[in-house]
Structures are given as structure tokens and as C-alpha cells.
Amino acid sequence: MSGSEGEGNRQEQEQGEEAFPVGPETEAENAAAQTVNSAGQQSGQQQNQQPDEWKRLQEITSKWMKGMGPEEEIVISSRIRLARNINGLPFPPLASDTQREKVLALAHSVLQEQSEHFREMRLIHMGSLSPICRQVLMEKHLISPLQVKECHAGAVILRADEVISIMVNEEDHLRVQCLLPGLQLERGWQEASRYDDYFEQSLDYAFHEELGYLTTCPTNVGTGLRASVMLYLSALTLTGQLNHFLTAVNQVGLVVRGIYGEGSEMVGGLCQISNQITLGHSEEEIWQNLYSVIRQLISQEKKARQQLLNQQREKLADRAGRAYGILKYARMLDSKEAMQLISDVRLGVDLGLLQHVPLEILSELLTLISPGCLQYLKGRNLSPYELNLERAIRVKQCLP
Amino acid sequence: MLCQKCGGKKASVHLTKISDGLKSEMYICEYCARESGELDFTMEGKFPLYQFFSSMMGLSAPESDPVLAPATNREAQCPVCGLTYSQFGQIGRFGCARCYVSFGKDILPLFRRLHGNLRHIGKIPSRAGTQLKFKQKLEHLKLELQKKVVAEEFEEAAQLRDKIRELEKGIAAGGE
């Protein structure tokens, strides 16, 4: 079900003993990246190599992370995903290699036929990326864990700003995704739907009069739409109210998970909330329902923050300061601890108790501390022990 | 054909395995199949939802249980991709768009339980949508034609037949 997309279990990845064969990262990406320019031709993508930590961070974190969105102090990002299949071809799990190649060729031809709409996009073949590169894309929520494991003719079509990513031959033939900072579900839906239309102009979708868009998993049938919002409910967690609210959220057909999907733990109040039902409600109803619940949660979170600020100002400032101190000077950090500390610092920044840490750095750090990114930056495989050392070094360098 | 595992016995099991989205096919003997535990069809990965599917579809209950195992055609098979209803219950994934039609009414309770609904509301692809409209019109005209033939109104029937032909040409040409 929904857990198959864009996430994975970070803890599990860290414990994994299996070493990642490290490919020549930049060359691999260069070889794989093809820019479709306005004339529909492809050209190699140049990658800027900079030793400077900030430059590397910019390369590794999505451009959209630099921009801030509505309700940015609580909401990290909003995501809309549409699952689509092409008529007349078996769905990817049962498709033969040739059939999967055909899907990829069809997707590629759409990019060429409608080059005016895909000027900023590049098609990246999964097979030409090293496992670490694929893991980085997954940690950035641009591809799914399914695509990390190399599957035949798998690809992702990425817009330069990484707001739009279209997975090819994932669980469904196409998964059109729009990822935006802050609470922007409406824009996300409009953007994703626009790209969906471009594909639909050239492809015959598997569509059923009564059941809507036909998907590989019965949990996606109908609209094929998954809307999700990643947000910090730190104060509700600290005041012990979170479970109360999450139970209510579950009752209105929404699912709450950790940011790395099904089975992943919620740390520091950071969670992901998404719709579960895809059939029988229109796309607008689905995202609006999620939007109104998120609005409610934001207002409750703000109330709880104010309450904490009024009653335990010094305690909160102390917590944020300590967290900052550990992040800045620790020599080893595991990902759970780092996430918790980032959350504590963030709350301090939001409430004006810590002034000198920009919020966007904290958002970027969330991606940077993941195992794939750390290994990508280091340029080699790291053991869990080495990962903890490396994480501490990176965090220290990035914090002002 | 000999077993692809031991190479000694006759292969009697055609094993199509879908694991993490990857499909592999093998022809093995019954002994090797049992030995390797492949006949269990247990799913790898962490999707407890799969297990719910088969119970929602009445596949995990004994066939004699009238409540949990309503009469379904467990061996219904999709003619396009070859997936059987029982396999679908195990993997929780459809093989192709045709499966939705092949398994017919048996899958509707699953949709009702998952979504509480059985009818899509929302976006309709404009191309498929156009085709859909043409198809609906075609069905309507065919019914009319039958009525006219039964009523022996042949002149009108002929007009309808011409209209149907025109529409069918349009559908074949891409819905215009």
C-alpha cells in the first residue's frame, strides 16, 4: 500500500551489513542524466564538483528545500502522487523485461513529443545509478524503496528543481509526484495533475468507467491519488497530547507514519500524514480533507507551543540549547538521536529561543543525516559505526 | 521438461515468483518446490496488508465457512496476464488492467472494505473519457438497433447500423 512509496526504514538501512558497492558517483549520474531540451534532444548533464561543504549540501539537498512554504515552522513538505498505468501492458510486477522496456520507451517518447512541457526535465535510468545514488534519491523522497533495488527498465523523470518527479516502472507504470515545501496541497495537486495531463495526451491510460484509474495495488484504485504532509508536532509530543490527536486522525480515514514510511518510527514529533481512501472521493475532496485536518493539527500544535512557552520558557530554551550543543560538539550521532536533537533545536528556533540557526538548514539536515547521503558525500561505503562518526562531522560543519 | 533445480526429476511445478516487484519464472519438480518452501507462497517484506487481503477476500478461511469464505471462484484466471484469483489474494497486486474485469464481482467486497466505495468520482482522462462516451453511445445504439429489428422497422434499423459503423470507425481511429 502507500508505504511502498518514497520511504524506507532508516534504522534498517543502517543495520544492514551488506556493503554498498560504490560506483563513480558523479560519472554515474552524468551518464544517466539526460536533459531533454526544447528541441527534444538529449545532452549530458554537467555536474559541478565543489569541495566546499555548502556547495555539496546544495547538490545533495533539493532546490525546493531552500524555498520556504506556508506554515513552514510546522510543515516541512506537502506531496501529491498520482498512480497511472498504460492500457494494454501488464503492470510492472508481472511485466516481462520487454514490456517494461516498452513502458520506458513510451515515457521517453512523451518527453520528446511534448518537449515544450518537459524542458526542465531529465530522464534518469535506475540501472545507470550506483546503489548509493539511488538511496540518496529515495532519502530525498524522489523515488521509492522499490526503485532503490535495481529493477529492469526503472527510471525517474526529474524536474531540475526536483519538485516534480515521475517514476517509471515502479509498482505502477507511472507515478507522477509533486513535492513542495510547507503546506501546499492545492498547488501540489494542480502541478501533478498538469503533468498527468501531458502524459495522457500521448498515452492511453488504464481506466475503468466505474473504478477509475486502475492500479497495481487495490489500495490505490480510483483516483490513484496519495496526498501526504510531513510535519513537526513537537509541542503536542512534549505535552503528551500527540496520541490523542493521532487517534482522531485515524478515525477520519487518514494514516500517520514516521517520515520513512510504514513501520518507521516517529521521532521528535516528526510525522507524515496521508489519505488512505482513493476510491469514491474526488481528488479535491481527498486533499481538502487532509488539508483541513492538517490545519486543525497546526492550530493545536501552535496552542501547545504557546502553552509551553508561557509555562516552561526556560526549560524549553535549555532543551534547545543543550540539543544544539550536542549536535555541534558530539563526535558520534546515530540517526534517531540526531533527528530528536534537530527537532528540539527547531522548536527553540521557532519559538525565538535560539536565534542564530536558520530553519532551512534544519530541514536540509534531515536529509543530510540519512545513510545514503552520508555515504554519497563520503564517496564510499560506511559501516554503522562510521556512519555515526560521519553524521556528527557533517552536522557540526553545517550548523552555524 | 526436467526440474531446473535438481535436473533429475520431471518439472511439474511452474513457479512464477514476484518478489519486491521482480518477476522470476522456474520449472521445478514437486520435491524441490516443497524442499525450498516455494509452495508456501509466503510474502517477503513488511506488508501486513497483504495478509489482510486474502482474509478480506475469504481466501484464508476454510471453504466450508459460509461467513468468512463466501462462494468465490478461487481459480478464476485472468486471460491476459495469467494471474489467478488465489494468487492475487496472496500477493495483493493485480497483474494487469484486465484482472479487474477477470475477477469480476469477487473483488468488489475488497474494494468496499478498503475504500467504503465502489464508484470512482473525480478526474477522468480526456482521451479515455472521450472513448468512454463513444462506447456508451455505441452500446445505446446497438440496443436501439435490436429493438428496431425486432419491431421489423428495417429502414430505421439500417440508419442505425450506418451510425454504428461510423462510430466504430471513429473509436478504432482513436476516439475522434
pTM, two decimals, is 0.74
Distance CA B117, CA B108 (A): 9
Residues 69 to 98 of A: which have CB under 8 A from any B CB?
85, 87-96
**Eight-class DSSP state of A38:** T
For A341-345, A356-360, B52-56, B147-151, which range has the lowest pLDDT when averaged over its residues?
A: B52-56
- What's the average model confidence in pLDDT over A277-285? 93
Q: CB contact, 8 Å: A127 with chain B?
A: no
Contact A30, A46 (CB under 8 A): yes
Q: Provide the 8-state DSSP code for A327.
A: H
Dig out the grid coordinates for B59 from the structure: 481466501
CA A180 to each of CA A68, A140, A227, A236, B141: distance values in angstroms, whole numbers, following the listed order: 9, 12, 12, 24, 48
Chosen for mutation from A82, A174, A207 (greatest number of chain B CBs closer than 10 Å) is A207
- Residues 6+ away with beta carbon under 8 Å from A247: none
Q: Which residue of B has its CA nearest to A222?
A: B120
Which residue is closest to B125 within chain A, CA to CA?
Answer: A200
Q: What is the DSSP string of chain B?
A: -B-TTTSSSBP-EEEEEEETTEEEEEEE-HHHHHHHTGGG-PPPSS-HHHHHHHHHTT-SS-TT-TTTS----TT-B-TTT--BHHHHHHH---SSTTHHHHTGGGGHHHHHHHHS--S--S---HHHHHHHHHHHHHHHHHHHHHHHHHTT-HHHHHHHHHHHHHHHHHHHTT--
Residues A85-94: pLDDT tens digits?
A: 999 999 999 9
Per-residue pLDDT band for A29 (boundaries 50, 70, 90) equals very low
Amino acid B66: pLDDT: 55
pLDDT digits (tens, 9 = 90+) for B88-145: 888 889 999 999 998 888 888 889 888 988 888 888 887 766 667 677 678 788 888 9
CA distance B96 to chain A (A): 4
By the 10 Å C-beta count (0-12 exposed, 13-18 middle, 19+ buried), A230 is classed as buried
The closest of B131, B124, B18 to A224, measured between CA atoms, is B124
In the DSSP assignment, the letter for residue A129 is S
CA distance A292 to A354: 30
Are the C-beta atoms of residues A335 and A370 closer than 8 Å to each other? yes
CB contact under 8 A, A90 and B95: yes
The predicted structure's pLDDT at residue A91:
96
Q: How confident is the model at residue A364 (pLDDT cuts 50, 70, 90)?
A: confident
pLDDT band at A53 (very low <50, low <70, confident <90, very high): very low
Q: Using CB atoms within 10 Å of the CB of residue B75, give its burial: 0 to 12 exposed, 13 to 18 middle, 19+ buried.
A: exposed
> Residue A242 is placed in which grid cell?
500527540
The three cell numbers locating residue A159: 524536474
Report pLDDT digits (tens) over A142-170: 998 888 886 799 999 999 888 999 999 99
For A322, the grid coordinates are 543543550
**Is A208 touching B (CB cutoff 8 A)?**
yes
The residues, any chain, with a CB within 8 Å of residue B35's CB and separated by 6 or more, are none
Q: Cβ of A277 and B96 within 8 Å?
A: no
ipTM entry: 0.79
Measured in angstroms, the CA of A237 and the nearest CA of chain B are apart by: 27
Distance CA B70, CA A113 (A): 50
Is the four-CA dihedral A214, A218, A220, A221 of positive or negative sign? positive
What is residue A7's predicted lDDT score, i.e. its pLDDT?
40
Nearest CA in chain B to A90: B96
Mark yes or no for CB contact A279/B80 under 8 Å: no
B80 chain-A contacts, CB cut-off 8 A: 90
Would the CA dihedral through B97, A114, A80, A186 be positive or negative?
negative
Residue in A4, A88, A222 closest to B115 by CB: A222
The pLDDT > 70 percentage for chain B reads: 69
Distance CA A315, CA A338 (A): 20
How much of chain A, in percent, has pLDDT values that exceed 90? 60
What per-residue confidence (pLDDT) applies to B37?
A: 56
pLDDT reading at A9 higher than 70: no
Q: Is A289 on the interface with B (CB under 8 A)?
A: no
Average pLDDT over residues A128-151: 86
Q: Which tens digits make up the pLDDT trace of A172-230?
A: 999 999 999 999 999 999 999 999 999 999 999 999 988 999 999 999 999 999 999 99
A325 pLDDT tier (thresholds 50, 70, 90): very high
Please tell me which of the candidates B21, B117, B124 has its beta carbon nearest to residue A280.
B117
Q: Is pLDDT above 90 for A12?
A: no
Kindly tell me if the per-residue pLDDT of A115 is higher than 60: yes
| Distance (Å, whole) CA B134 – CA A87 | 17
Looking at residue A95, the DSSP 8-state letter turns out to be -
- Are the CB atoms for A286 and A225 separated by under 8 Å? yes
Please count the residues of chain B.
176
Grouping H, G, I as helix, E, B as strand and the rest as coil, residue A164 is: strand
- The reported pLDDT for the residue numbered A64 is 62
